[in-house]
Amino acid sequence: MFLMKRPDSEQLQIKEIRKMAVNRVPVLKRCRTLGLEPMVLGYDKKSNRTNARAGKKVSEYGLQLREKQKAKFIYGVLEKPFRNYYEKADRMKGMTGENLMIMLESRLDNVVFRMNFARTRREARQIVDHKHVLVNGKQVNIPSYLIKAGDVIEIREKSKSLQRYKDIIEVTGGRLVPEWMDVDMENFKGTIKNLPTREMIDVPVDEMLIVELYSK
């Protein structure tokens, strides 16, 4: 039996895609670089190190680029889908920047994180990927799935008893739940009362700078 070997060009292309998809810079170091508190991502850690670039003058473009990088890093979105979110937000009624932030906040992985069913957004993505999440009673394993007002999000019944979720509750039990959702932590079930407004989203990103960046 002969195995077909991929052409060298195809192998190189696959390697490049994998490099782009995986950012191996440690979370705390990335937070320092972007001026973010680790808790924004769900990490109960603090770094005692300082950012060597702090205090240095940053160009207008540099500021705009940093805000985009912050939003991508917080929500775990790569460049191409992030650009797609922006273009969709720009076509919608209202403020483009606000539309963008509301869409990012409405991702299923972020909602699982906000409901405290995961310690971090990264863990929330894994939980969704592993088919532990139901939306309106149906299994959804797409982290980028956009929820709507009235949607009911739940961890599937056979996963609720896993030790993983007992460990999660120990960490997230004391965290606040956003006002735009109702959550029953005992049953790992939550309802979206309404989509959030920008004022309800406690993410330290200046979306206007992102709009300026993409408007050039």
Residue-wise pLDDT for 59-95, tens only, equals 999 999 999 999 999 999 999 999 999 999 999 999 9
Which residues make beta-bridge pairs with 182?
191
Instruction: Look at residue 20 in the predicted model and tell me its pLDDT.
Output: 42
Q: 5: which 2 tokens?
A: 């070997």
* pTM for the predicted model, two decimal places: 0.80
Considering the chain, tell me which residue range(s) the CATH 3.10.290.10 domain(s) occupy.
107-195
Arch. (CATH architecture) of 25-104+204-214: Orthogonal Bundle (1.10)
CATH number of 107-195: 3.10.290.10
Instruction: Look at residue 40 in the predicted model and tell me its pLDDT.
Output: 67
Instruction: Look at residue 122 in the predicted model and tell me its pLDDT.
Output: 93
Read off the amino acid at residue 31. Answer: C
**Structural contact between residues 130 and 141, judged by C-beta atoms closer than 8 angstroms:** yes
Considering the chain, tell me which residue range(s) the CATH 1.10.1050.10 domain(s) occupy.
25-104+204-214
Read off the amino acid at residue 95. Answer: M
How many Å separate Cα 145 from the centre of its chain?
12
pLDDT band for position 38 (cuts 50, 70, 90): low
